[in-house]
Amino acid sequence: MDNENKKVQHLTEEQIAVYAEALATDNSANLPDDVKRHVKECLECSNEIQSVSEILREKYKNSIAEGLNSINKRNKINLTLWLGVAASIAFIAALGYFFTKSNGVPENNLMAVDSTIFNSKTIVSNKIINQDTINNEIIIDSEIKKESIVNSTKKNEILIAFVPNKELEKLSERYKDNAMRGEEKIITTSEVKSYNTSDSINISLNKSDNQYLTVEVFDNKGTKITQLTTKENSVELNDINEEGLYYWKLINEDYDLLYCGKIIIKD
Amino acid sequence: MQVTEELTIKDTLITDYELLDLANRIVSRFIANRYIPKREREDVQMAIIEKFLINKSRIINRFQGKSKASTYCIAVLNRMCLEIIRKEIKHWNLSEGKHKEIREDCVLNSEENLIIKDEIRLLKDIIALFYDEKEKIVLFLAYYYQLNVNNDDINNYCLGECDNNFYELFTINDKESKATIFANLTIAVNKIENKNLKNDATRIWLNKIINTIISKLNYPLNRANYTKESLQILFEYYYNEKEH
């Protein structure tokens, strides 16, 4: 009887929004089971989710560039990772405290603790970056699925190929005034280069030393298309024949990113 | 200083222009689905915008950043719009366009094709909202309605656990009786889900699913009048479209 009188707890607007985004991107893996059960049974909530996701689809059809990839990144880094980070930092801090309290601690022990902290921070930040990359891949993947449903005509496909990639745009923006690392300006190519599909792409470098440099080319979805390593002062790329917006990265032997530029191929 | 910064961040939840745009999209969708008469567009739009602005600080405070801010605002505005529809529907004369002239020709015009397309998409969404059961539901309904079952749908359900005998279960030899259909479905469930169900349990489960889908298709405000027969037709459309 009590159960009958108990008021049904519907989803909040934010939960509806989260579920609608999951439905629109066909990605429901991380949704909690109890709420999924509620959605299966509840007419009101499932209808609201469906309505919101329909509006989302409509919205994206008109402005694909906006995409879902601007969803707050902080939500993408999972909670366990943060807990792990907090626990390791606390543990390391406790260790450091213990060592500094002890008498006659050799200096290099303190240095060892310092270096442990540094290393663990590096690992943590790398993990966060990896997590971000994975999440970006998931979002990109689901966007591709979504886009393939919505835009089936060739015209739209070409249009999609020119949608800027948010992350790579940011990166290329940082290298707008040419060299970032070191004093010398390695790149003599303009930051945005335009070609026809029949052209071969030439990137000019201004190297003073003999080291190898790697050029990686990405499409606007962030997928690596090709990679070339050179010792010369220029690189010629022949693998890119389709119209679209591409990005290229220049990386040195120490895996430092030296430059990020854009290539536009349009007939 | 901190308060000012916090306010600035929170105020960017939605701009007035975005609010207007979203309200327009939401109301347009309800008009297209014939919940709201065209002539009420501006009134409803203004009503939800006003309600949103009055409650803006509460709406902002409740937002935890789990979704995109604009999606959250769509959900809020959509719920507000539904509240207005529930309240006002009796006063609106929705009779126009409800009783369509019955045509004798069987060729669908482009408007009807669009409506069918929308209904198929709605069915697809409703099935997707069954989450972990969606593959099972698609497969079982396809077999229940005696459609040519796609092997991919069998694989999606059994996740690589199936052998040739399992594929045989979903082969349609002739017009099979309902008893045989449920017997085969039960064998499938027991094998894949490691259960020991009787045919009746499968029948009850599938009937419950069909009734839930019908209710969801007809919701809200009896927007449609789906029955088991019309669901079957819609599902056939959906399944054939999925195949291609």
pLDDT digits (tens, 9 = 90+) for B157-182: 888 777 878 888 888 877 778 889 99
* pLDDT computed for residue B75 by the predictor: 93
Asked if B129 and A21 come within 8 Å (Cβ–Cβ), the reply is no
How would DSSP label each residue in chain A? -HHHHSPP-PPPHHHHHHHHHHHHTT--TTS-HHHHHHHHH-HHHHHHHHHHHHHHHHHHHH-GGG-STTS-GGGTS-HHHHHHHHHHHHHHHHHHHHHHHSTT--HHHHHHHHHHHHHHHHHHHHHHHHHHHHHHHHHHHHHHHHHHHH--SHHHHHHHHTSPPHHHHHHHHHTTTS--SSSS--B-S-SEEEE-TTSPEEEEB---S---EEEEEEETTS-EEEEEEESSSEEEE-S--S-EEEEEEEE-TT--EEEEEEEEE--
Place of tokens 């601690």: A105
Angstrom distance (rounded) from CA A37 to CA A33? 6
Judged against a pLDDT cut of 80, whether residue B238 lies above it is answered with yes
The region of weakest confidence among B34-43, B129-138, B226-235 is: B34-43
- Look at residue B159 in the predicted model and tell me its pLDDT: 82
Give the β-pairing of A224-230 and A257-265: unpaired
* B78 contacts A75? CB cut-off 8 A: no
Contacts of B18 (CB under 8 A, 6+ apart): B70, B73
What's the pLDDT at A73?
Answer: 40
For range B33-61, the mean pLDDT: 88
CB contact (8 A) between residue A58 and residue B29 = yes
pLDDT block averages, 10 residues each, chain A of length 267: 55 89 77 83 87 82 46 46 68 67 45 43 47 52 51 59 80 68 53 69 76 85 82 80 84 80 82
Cβ separation B75–A16 shorter than 8 A: yes
Query: What's the pLDDT at A178?
Result: 59
Give the torsion sign (CA, A241, A245, A249, A250).
Answer: positive
- Please determine, for the modelled complex, whether the ipTM score is greater than 0.85: no
Report pLDDT for B201. 92
Residues B95-105, mean pLDDT to the nearest whole number: 47
**Displacement of CA A22 from its chain's centroid (Å):** 18
- The amino acid that residue A63 corresponds to is S
- The rounded distance, in Å, linking the Cα atoms of A203 and A107 is 50
Angular region, B119: left φ>0, alpha ψ -120 to 50, beta rest: alpha
In one letter, which amino acid is B19? Answer: L
Contact A60, A67 (CB under 8 A): yes
Let me know: does A259 contact A175? Beta carbons within 8 Å: yes
Q: Report residue B90: phi and psi, to 5°.
A: -65, -30
Using the structure block, give the residue that is written with the tokens 């500094």: A100
Nearest to B238 by CA among B158, B126, B112, B107: B126
The residues of B whose Cβ lies within 8 A of any Cβ of A are 22, 25-26, 29, 59, 62-68, 70-72, 74-76, 78-79, 82, 121-122, 125-126, 128-133, 212, 215-216, 219-220
| Domain locations in chain B as residue ranges | 2-108, 122-243
DSSP line for A38-83: HHHH-HHHHHHHHHHHHHHHHHHHH-GGG-STTS-GGGTS-HHHHH
Q: Name every chain A residue with its beta carbon within 8 A of the beta carbon of B25.
A: 55, 58-59
Residue B210 above 90 pLDDT?
yes
Q: What is the mean pLDDT of residues B199-227?
A: 89
For residue B205, name the pLDDT band (cuts at 50, 70, 90): very high
In the Cβ-directed half-sphere of B121, how many Cα atoms lie within 13 Å? Answer: 17
Interchain pair A39, B131: CB under 8 A: yes
- Please tell me what DSSP assigns to residue B39: G
Angle at B211 between CA B208 and CA B215, to 5 degrees: 135
Contacts for A182 with CB less than 8 Å, ≥ 6 apart: none
Q: Give the pLDDT score at A130.
A: 52
Q: Quick check: A55 and B25 in contact, CB under 8 A?
A: yes
Contact A222, A165 (CB under 8 A): yes
**Residue in A closest to B128 by C-alpha:** A23
In this predicted structure, what is the pLDDT of residue A120?
44
Residue A159 is predicted with a pLDDT of 67
Distance from C-alpha of B241 to C-alpha of B116, rounded to nearest angstrom: 12
The pTM of this model reads 0.50
Q: Which of B81, B114, B129 to mutate to test the interface with A (most CBs of A within 10 A)?
A: B129
Tell me how far apart the alpha carbons of residues A66 and A23 are, in angstroms, rounded to a whole number: 18
